[in-house]
Amino acid sequence: MKKNITVIKGDGIGPEIVTEAMKVLDKVGAKYGHEFSFHEILAGGCAIDACGKCLPEQSLDACLTGDSVLLGAVGGPKWDGVDKNNRPERALLGIRSAMGLYANLRPAKLFSQLRAASPLNPEIVARGIDFVVVRELIGGVYFGAHDTVEENGEKRATDIMVYSEHEIERIARTAFETARKRRGKVTSVDKANVLDTSRLWREVVTRVSREYPDVAYSDMLVDNTAMQIVKDPSQFDVIVTENMFGDILSDEASMITGSIGMIPSSSLGETKNGMYEPIHGSAPDIAGQNLANPIGTILSGAMMLKYSFDLDEESAEIERAVSAVLDAGYRTADIMDEGGRRVSCSEMGDLICSEIG
């Protein structure tokens, strides 16, 4: 199989972690006889530095015409002063929206080797952590009108949250279909006691749930969910929620599995051309030091093979290699369990490659 992968290394630790994921994809390609050709493009802060625009047209074109996109992370304090419509993060939102990537899957799965790295009580951890946050990605407050005006000598800012029925319906379907392939349970998370968008969300998800009588369905308010994720994460299988709640809850969910550096994501719309990225950001505090954990990005590559290219065996091979390297005790600095063998970002990539063999 031959596939064209558009690569956005981005900013901060982005180039370090993406380089490792590319090495791993090359290795799997060589083992199974596939050719993955990488087309590197600029987006984010590095694109602002190079040409003044966070998302040059040719970069977006490459995303739209390739077979899939692999992204590291964008942004950093260097670009905090940039016009809000040209911030590095706008590049990411622009790509997600232009590609129609409404369904963002963020699996929060604890590798059993990392039990001691979870900050949760061992008795809670022993019950298991294996759920997926299905985050709506191209609607809500992220894509409503944003404005700041000056009135009566003070500034006033507004961000509008909008959801239409069809946007909720399609992400609800993704959640129920996902649950069917897992443990058959969907928790829809909202703030229906306060927000109109959430009341509509609940109404639509409840309606869609009737098409899936084989899936157990319930609602939960977002504040309670934030608490339940640390009280007893084993109760969750699929969490479906709107854009901003999903952003926040997935960072929380990542940490209980040992580190935010471990968690991959897939973003898909109506076609197979999706975007794959770790859920974390550009980690400016550790950038350029070869300290970052590349596993979230490497596992994003595994998700790409599975969801965009239907290469299930190759995808599982990457997951197996990651698990074997963790079994052998290797850890990057972000994983806080005792007694692990500390390795750098590039050493972790090399170890995973040699495991693929």
Going by C-alpha positions, the residue among 116, 92, 90, 71 that lies closest to residue 266 is 71
CB under 5 to 8 A by kind: which of ligand IPM, ligand NAD, Mn ion, none does 284 bind?
ligand NAD
d(CA 50, CA 319): 36
Q: Is 247 annotated as a binding residue?
A: yes
117 labeled binding residue:
no
With 0-12 / 13-18 / 19 or more C-beta atoms within 10 angstroms meaning exposed / middle / buried, residue 200 is middle
251 is an active site residue: yes
- Quick check: 277 binds Mn ion (CB under 5 A)? no
**Residue 247 makes contact with ligand IPM by CB under 6 A:** yes
Q: Is 180 annotated as a binding residue?
A: no
Choosing from 15, 29, 75, 140, the residue that interacts with ligand NAD (CB under 6 A) is 75
Residue 299 partner contact from ligand NAD, Mn ion, ligand IPM, none using kind-dependent CB cut-offs of 5 to 8 Å: none
* Of 68-76, 113-121, 237-245, 307-315: span binding ligand NAD (CB under 6 A): 68-76
For 327, residues 6+ apart whose C-beta sits below 8 A from its C-beta are 113
Q: Is 147 a catalytic residue?
A: no
Question: Which residue type occupies 351?
Answer: L
Active-site hit among 196, 223, 312, 327: 223
The piece of 29-37, 121-129, 172-180, 274-282 that touches ligand NAD (CB under 6 A) is: 274-282
Q: Which residue has the tokens 């509008």?
A: 160
Residue with tokens 């040719």: 58
Q: Cite the beta strand spans of the chain per DSSP E.
A: 2-10, 35-40, 68-73, 103-109, 130-136, 146-151, 154-159, 185-190, 216-221, 238-241, 266-268, 275-276, 330-331, 341-342
Q: Is 289 annotated as a binding residue?
A: yes
Minimum distance of ligand NAD from residue 12's CB (angstroms): 6
The residue number with the shortest CB distance to ligand NAD is 281
Residues 212-251 that bind Mn ion (CB under 5 A): 247
**What is the Cα–Cα distance from 115 to 337, expressed in whole angstroms?**
8
Q: Is 286 in the site for ligand NAD (CB under 6 A)?
A: yes
The angle at the Cα of 74, spanning 21 to 120, to the nearest 5 degrees, equals: 70
CA-CA-CA-CA torsion sign (260, 104, 4, 90): negative
**Residue closer to ligand NAD (CB basis): 140 or 281:** 281
List CB contacts of 74: < 8 A, sequence separation 6 or more.
8, 10, 11, 14, 43, 44, 45, 54, 88, 89, 91, 92, 282
Active site residue 102: no
**How far is it, in rounded angstroms, from Cα 233 to Cα 313?**
29
Per-residue binder mask for ligand IPM (CB under 6 A), 75-94, x = binder: x-------------x--xx-
Q: Which is nearer to ligand IPM, 88 or 349 (CB)?
A: 88
Residue among 230 and 248 whose Cβ is closer to Mn ion: 248
Considering 11, 190, 237, 247, which one is annotated as catalytic?
247
Q: Which residues are catalytic?
A: 142, 191, 223, 247, 251
Return binding residues for substrate. Answer: 96, 106, 135, 223
Binding-site ranges for ligand NAD (CB under 6 A) = 13, 17, 73-76, 89, 92, 260-261, 277, 280-286, 292-293, 296, 334
**Residues found near ligand IPM in the complex (CB under 6 A):** 75, 89, 92-93, 247, 279
